[in-house]
Amino acid sequence: MTNSRLRLAFAGTPILARVVLESLIHKNEHSVQLVLTQPDRPAGRGRKMTPSEVKLCALENNLHIIQPATPKEFDPDCLDNFDLLLVVAYGLILPAEMLNRPKYGCINIHTSLLPRWRGAAPIRRAVKAGDKETGITFMQMDTGLDTGNILMQEKCQIHAHDTGGILYDRLAEMSKNAIHPLLHKVANNEIHATEQDSSLVCYANKITKQEAKLEWTKSAIELERKVRAFNPSPITHTELNGIKMRVWETELKPGIHNSAPGTILKDSRDSIDVVTADGILSITKLQLPGKKVISAKDFLNSHPVFIEK
C-alpha cells in the first residue's frame, strides 16, 4: 500500500461541487492545486456579475482558478503534472486531449446510478419518473456523454415526499463523504473499472420552462411527481380561472371525479383541488407573479370567489 498524496485539479460550478471541494480541502489528505469553474454570470434582479459557488470557495482558500468560457479556451497543458482531474457538475465539455493528461485521467461524480439517467438533469428526471432509488456514480471520463467505465457507486432511496432540492442535498452529502474512499483507492491502485450496460441506458435531458407547465390531461400522480421534481427549479406553473400561478407543493387526493381535466372542485377551502385525466391533485402551496410563496388556504381566503368562477 503506497498511501500516496494525490496532486488534484478540480472542475465544478454549483453548490454540489462546492460541497465536495470543501470536503477535500478540510480533509487535506490530497492536495487541490487548481480549480476550473465556469465564468461569472449575471444573477439576481440587478443582473450583477456573480461568481460560481466553486469560485467563491477557491477564492476563500487561495486556490489557483481558471475560467474558460468555451471548450476552445481550454489549455490542455494546464493539467500536466497532475495526478487526477476530479469533475463535479462542471457544465462544460472537456476537450478530448485533456482527458488523459493527468496520471489517472479524469474522474466525474455523476448524480445517478449510471447508465440510468445520463445527461444534464439526472436528479429531477429520477424524481419525475417515480424512481425508487438513485445514487452517485464515480466514472472514468471518456469522450462520450457519461459513457465512461464505472469505478464506484453508492445508492440511496428516493422517498415519497422528496423534491429535486431535497434529493440534490442528499446526493451532495453522499458525494462529499464518498470521495475520500474513492481517492484512497486511486492513490493505492485499487480501482476496478466496470463497463456500463448499454441495454440499460436512458437520458436525463435538460429541463425547459415549457416542460414545467402542468398539463391537466396527465394523471394526478404524474403531475405530483413533476411538481416535486421541479422544486426548487424551474417550478411548475399553470393558469386556473384566469390566474397565473407557480405551483410549489401538491398532494394526491383520494377519489374519482367525472369532470373534465382542469376542472376546479368546490368542496375545499384549504387547497385548490383540480381534476386530472386520472385522479385529483390538490395544490397546497403556490406563488402569484411577483409575490411570495403562500399556502393555498391563504390564497383562497384572499380570493373568495376564485373557486366559484
Cell numbers given for 195: 463497463
Query: Do 23 and 180 contact (CB within 8 A), yes or no?
Result: yes
Q: What is the pTM of this model?
A: 0.95
Q: Phi then psi for 229, rounded to 5 degrees?
A: -60, -40
* E strand map for the chain: 7-12, 31-36, 41-43, 48-50, 65-66, 84-88, 106-110, 118-119, 133-140, 150-157, 203-204, 236-240, 243-253, 272-275, 280-287, 293-295
**What pLDDT digit, counting tens, does each position of 141-164 carry?**
999 999 999 999 999 999 999 999
Cα distance between residue 64 and residue 68, in whole Å: 13
Q: Is 100 helix (H, G, I), strand (E, B) or coil?
A: coil
Q: Residue-wise pLDDT tens for the chain (309 aa)?
A: 455 899 999 999 999 999 999 999 999 999 999 999 999 999 888 889 999 999 999 999 999 999 999 988 999 999 999 999 999 999 999 999 999 999 999 999 999 999 999 999 999 999 999 999 999 999 999 999 999 999 999 999 999 999 999 999 999 999 999 999 999 999 999 999 999 999 999 999 999 989 999 999 999 999 999 999 999 999 999 999 999 999 999 999 988 888 999 999 988 889 999 999 999 999 999 999 999 999 999 999 999 888 876
What residues pair up with 290 in beta bridges, in sequence order? none
**pLDDT of 267:** 82
Domains and CATH numbers, the chain: 7-204 (3.40.50.170), 210-302 (3.10.25.10)
Cell numbers given for 63: 486556490
**What pLDDT digit, counting tens, does each position of 117-135 carry?**
999 999 999 999 999 999 9
